[in-house]
């Protein structure tokens, strides 16, 4: 087994072109390992751990909030 490393860009429809200098050296059976150069943190879903609400003037009824019937 031989290993060749090169940088390329994934084209439309997921096509990856192999550089010409490797075409003659590679048979039709290959193993492809993709290692992205993009920052993986950009692809993560963002979440938050705190939230700030302005409640000045808000009438808060603790009984209504704690009511489990779903009707306030």
Which pTM value belongs to this model? 0.43
Task: Count the domains in the chain.
Answer: 1
Domain coverage including residue 20 = 1-36
What's the CA gap between 34 and 30, in Å, rounded?
A: 13
Which pLDDT value is given to residue 70? 61
Confirm whether 13 is domain-assigned: yes
Q: With 70 as the cut, is the pLDDT of residue 72 above it?
A: no
Q: What is the pLDDT of residues 22-57, one digit of tens each?
A: 888 887 788 888 888 776 555 566 677 787 888 888
> 64 near 72, Cβ under 8 Å?
yes
Confirm whether 44 is domain-assigned: no
Confirm whether 61 is domain-assigned: no
Which pLDDT value is given to residue 69? 67
For residues 45-55, one letter each, b for 16 or more C-beta atoms within 10 angstroms of the residue's C-beta and e for the rest, the string is eeeeeeeeeee
């Amino acid at each position: 087994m031989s290993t060749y490393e090169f940088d390329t860009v994934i084209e439309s429809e997921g096509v990856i072109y192999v550089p010409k200098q490797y075409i003659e050296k590679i048979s039709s059976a290959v193993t492809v390992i993709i290692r992205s150069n993009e920052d993986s943190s950009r692809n993560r879903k963002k979440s938050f751990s705190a939230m700030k609400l302005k409640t000045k003037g808000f009438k808060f009824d603790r009984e209504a909030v704690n009511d489990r019937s779903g009707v306030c």
